[in-house]
Every structure is written in C-alpha cells, then in structure tokens.
Amino acid sequence: MDQLPALVGVVVGTLGSYAVQSLTERRRWTRQREERWDEKRFETYGRYGNALKSQLRVAQRIGAALGFSDVADPLEPADGLPLLAEAESHRATEWESVLLVGDAATIAAARRWHEAVWTIELLVREGPVDARMWTKAHRLASGARDAFYESARRDLGIAGAPPPGEWPRSWRAELSD
C-alpha cells in the first residue's frame, strides 16, 4: 500500500509521456505532409504556367506571321499549327495535376487563363482578324494570367501579388508617342 502512490505516479507519468510524444509526432507528420503538398502545388502550378505560356507563345508567333506587329519571330501557320496542337496536348496533361492538387479558386483562375489562351488560338486558326480584337484577346489573357498567379500565390501562402502584365507592352506604347 505504501508503494501505491509511486506506482500511480509512474503510470500517470508514462501515460503523459506517451500522450505528449504522440501529439508531437502527429504534429510533425502533419507539418511534413503540408510541406510536401505545398511543394507539389508549387511545382504543379509552375509546370502548368510554363505549359500555357508555351502554348500562348506558339499562337503569338503564328499571329506574327499573320501580320500582328506586337510579336516577333513569325511562324507560318502550316509550321505552327502542329506545334500549337502539341502545346495544347501538353497543357491538357498538366491541367490534370492542377485539378488534383489545386484549391478551387486557383483551378477556376487556371481555367479562365487557358480559355483566354484558347481565344487567341482560335484567332490564329481562323486567319486574319483586326488588330483591336487581337489586342483585346491578349489583354484578357494577361489579366487571367495575373489572376492565376495571384490565386496560386495565395494558395501557397506567398504574400503579395506579382506585378500585373500589360498588353501591349508599355515600352511599345512609349515608342509610338
């Protein structure tokens, strides 16, 4: 009977130690899992942005061959359309990863961006369009791109938004004054 308090103390100490260690391990595991998912989302968003930017770049080069002066490196439609189809396939593959790891706001922003790029793609596929429509489509795509990166940064816990894109580029407007 004299040793009962000591025995109770050992049992309580053991249970307390076990509980603290379990909570510590659980928190460590949760933190490591969150870090892995943050890293995965970062890589996924980056790959998706690069794929969509490549698709846009091919469409812009075809547009340059059609006479749009805001883009360099013309690419004839006959040569560029297969590259555009390949870029779209690559983008669609990367899209699946965004759907898997992205939050709802970032997925919606990514969808708006690729739909804006599709508009530019349709313009080059349909042939010559007026310069105002071309510029407007690029402004929409630029705004959608900014919204995607702002949402992705928020999802990743990165403070602040990236600087907004402008179309046509401000330096071109400065040259024409």
What are the tens digits of pLDDT across the range 141-164? Answer: 999 999 999 999 999 988 877 777
Sign of CA dihedral 75, 134, 138, 92: negative
Confidence of residue 176 (pLDDT cuts 50, 70, 90): low
H or E segment and range at residue 147: helix 131-156
**Is residue 177 scored above 60 in pLDDT?**
no
Task: Give the predicted TM-score (pTM) of the model.
Answer: 0.76
**Is residue 170 scored above 70 in pLDDT?**
no
Tokens coding 32: 């490591």
101 near 40, Cβ under 8 Å?
yes
Please tell me the predicted confidence (pLDDT) of residue 145: 94
What are the tens digits of pLDDT across the range 78-96? Answer: 999 999 999 999 999 999 9
Tokens coding 76: 């004839």
Other CB atoms within a 10 A radius of the CB of residue 15 amount to 10
What are the tens digits of pLDDT across the range 11-68? Answer: 888 888 888 888 888 887 777 677 667 889 999 999 999 999 999 999 999 999 988 8
Dihedral class, residue 139 (left if φ above 0, else alpha if ψ from -120 to 50, else beta):
alpha
Please tell me the predicted confidence (pLDDT) of residue 10: 80
